Every structure is written in C-alpha cells, then in structure tokens.
Amino acid sequence: MIETPFASSTRSIPEVGAVPRHIAIIMDGNGRWARQRLMPRVAGHTRGVETVREVIRASMERGVSYLTLFAFSSENWRRPADEVSFLMQLFMRALQKEVDRLHKNGIRFRVIGDLSRFDAKLVDLIRSAEALTADNRALTLSVAANYGGRWDILQAVNRILARDPERREAITEEQLAAELAMNYAPEPDLFIRTGGEQRISNFLLWQLAYTELFFTDTLWPDFDANALDQAIAWYRQRERRFGRTSEQLQQHSADVSSAKPGEHA
Ligand code: IPE
Ligand code: IPE
Ligand code: MG
C-alpha cells in the first residue's frame, strides 16, 4: 500500500508558504448570474467556463501548484434532466477544445469522482486527457465531477477492504488518505466558494480539515484574476495554527529566523 508523500494537517504540521500550494474552489452562482440577466440558467454555465480559463491562467501565474474545481456534485443529478445533460455536453466540449492547450501549458489534468454514471464517450475523453498530460507538473488541475466527499471516503475504505477481506487491523489515517481520489495532491491550503452560500456541499470533506475557508458573494461568472488575488491576500492574513497557540507560532518563526543557514530550528 502506498502512503502519500504529503503532510497530513492532523498528523504533522504542513509547511505554509505565502502562496497557497493548493486552492480548491466551489464554482457556484452560474444559474443566478444568468437569471439576473433574464437568460436561461445554462447560459450561466457557458459563461462560467470562461471564468475557469481565467482562473487556471491566473493560478499558474501566481505559482499555485494544485487547483481543484468542483464542477458537478454527486447531488447535482437531482437537477432537471435537461440542465444535467447540458452540463455534460459542456464538459465534453470544453475538454475537447482545451486539452491541447492544457498540455502545451504544462498542466496535468485529472478528474476526481465516480465516473461510472458518465457516458462512455466522456469517460474515454477524460482518460485520454489524463494520459496525455500525466507527466506535466506546471499545475495540476483536478476537476471534481460526480464527486461527493462521502463517496470518496467510502470508496477509499471499500478499496482497502476489497484488497484484504480478512483484514482485522484498524485502518490508519495514512492508509485511508492514500486511497482517496486525490491521493496525488496535498490538502488544500485555501478553499474558495463563490455565490454567497457558506457551506461545503459534500466537497472534499476529509481534506478540508485545516483548510482556510473563503466565501464570497461574487457569482462564479463574475469571478476573475483580481478576485482570486483578493482571496489569496485574505489567505495571507490568516494565522494557520493547526491546533497550536499563537505564542508557539511566534516562537517557532523566531527560532527559524535565528537558525544559522542550513540549520533547522
Ligand atoms: C454552479 O452554479 C454550477 C453547478 C453546480 C454545476 P449553480 O448552477 O449552482 O448556480 P446557482 O447556485 O443556481 O446560482
Ligand atoms: C455545489 O453547488 C456543487 C458545484 C459547484 C458543482 P450547488 O449549487 O449544487 O450547491 P448546493 O446544492 O446549493 O449546496
Ligand atoms: Mg448553486
């Protein structure tokens, strides 16, 4: 069983830099954006794809290494059938159109979620885009599609059990994390939800344990590079204590800055 090379926010203390290494976004508010303009809800989804392009570009420029976008939740099947099928078509068209550009820009593309309900054509497209871009490292772009945080934790546990049905030992945090759909990425440093709601909506339940949560009323089609910068600026003001006291953190940074070069505090 492989264990992830990334620090767990509950088992150790992750390193914190000025730029979030991993940003995870719930892209919400497309329908309301369209309704405000007396357009059908789906027009908001189409416009939202442009925001996706801009946010990918801006994230790369800012030095973010992992960007994860919630595109379709395991609960979004409850929407009207025509909206669901529009979203699937849009995803497929965007992927067909953008995959070469993603690859040229050195982006690794991954999809997390239960693909078993998707059209075979869409699944093929996803798998070939993932294979094409597998060795790229400028940015890892993960799209959560038919994703649910509860599904993710359960599939991880079930994979462990399926491999060893006789298993008696308790599952460790590291073993479970290694089986999550996003086992190739560190936990998000910054979470952003557009559209005004302040909830997680079954997104990355496990990984958001110590993530800084940023909520904005801006609707997704109106979100842009400038709004992303505002979220990052807000993130920089946070004191990420991971359970410790503020005094301990100040002591820690004093120790680090007084350590001789090459010596670790
Ligand atoms: C988010 O926008 C996109 C998806 C969930 C696919 P919404 O479609 O939820 O927009 P609102 O929340 O109705 O405005
Ligand atoms: C969350 O948005 C899922 C995505 C953005 C894909 P929703 O608009 O579906 O969330 P709820 O149902 O209002 O919480
Ligand atoms: Mg919504």
Indicate the pTM of the whole model: 0.95
Flag whether pLDDT at 2 surpasses 60: no
The tens digit of pLDDT for each residue in 4-50 reads 678 899 998 888 889 999 999 999 999 999 999 999 999 999 999 99
Angle at 212 between CA 15 and CA 175, to 5 degrees: 60
Mean predicted confidence (pLDDT) in 236-243: 94
Flag whether pLDDT at 1 surpasses 50: no
User: b/e per residue, 173-185, with b = 16+ CB within 10 A?
Assistant: eebbbbbbbbbeb
Q: Is 70 in the pocket of ligand 2 (CB under 6 A)?
A: yes
Report the separation in Å between the CA atom of 260 and the middle of ligand 1, taken as the mean of its atom positions. 52
Task: Determine which one of 30, 76, 82, 164 is catalytic.
Answer: 76
Closest atom, ligand 1, to C-alpha of 72: 6
Judged on CB neighbours under 10 Å (0-12, 13-18, 19+), 91 is buried
Is there a contact between 146 and 117 (Cβ–Cβ < 8 Å)? Answer: yes
**Residue 152 among the catalytic residues:** no
Q: Is 203 in the pocket of ligand 1 (CB under 6 A)?
A: no
Domains of the chain and CATH, by start: 22-258 (3.40.1180.10)
- pLDDT at 4 (0 to 100): 62
* Six token digits for residue 20: 């979030």
Q: Is 28 in the pocket of ligand 2 (CB under 6 A)?
A: yes
- pLDDT at 15 (0 to 100): 86
Place of tokens 């982006």: 107
* Six token digits for residue 97: 């159109």
The tens digit of pLDDT for each residue in 111-156 reads 999 999 999 999 999 999 999 999 999 999 999 999 999 999 999 9
Angle at 192 between CA 191 and CA 195, to 5 degrees: 150
Report the separation in Å between the CA atom of 215 and the middle of ligand 2, taken as the mean of its atom positions. 14
**Residue 136 among the catalytic residues:** no
- pLDDT at 265 (0 to 100): 43
65-79, 158-172, 251-265: range with lowest mean pLDDT = 251-265
Report the separation in Å between the CA atom of 126 and the middle of ligand 1, taken as the mean of its atom positions. 22
The tens digit of pLDDT for each residue in 50-103 reads 999 999 999 999 999 999 999 999 999 999 999 999 999 999 999 999 999 999
The tens digit of pLDDT for each residue in 206-233 reads 999 999 999 999 999 999 999 999 999 9
The tens digit of pLDDT for each residue in 178-201 reads 999 999 999 999 999 999 999 999
Report the separation in Å between the CA atom of 83 and the middle of ligand 1, taken as the mean of its atom positions. 10
Flag whether pLDDT at 264 surpasses 80: no
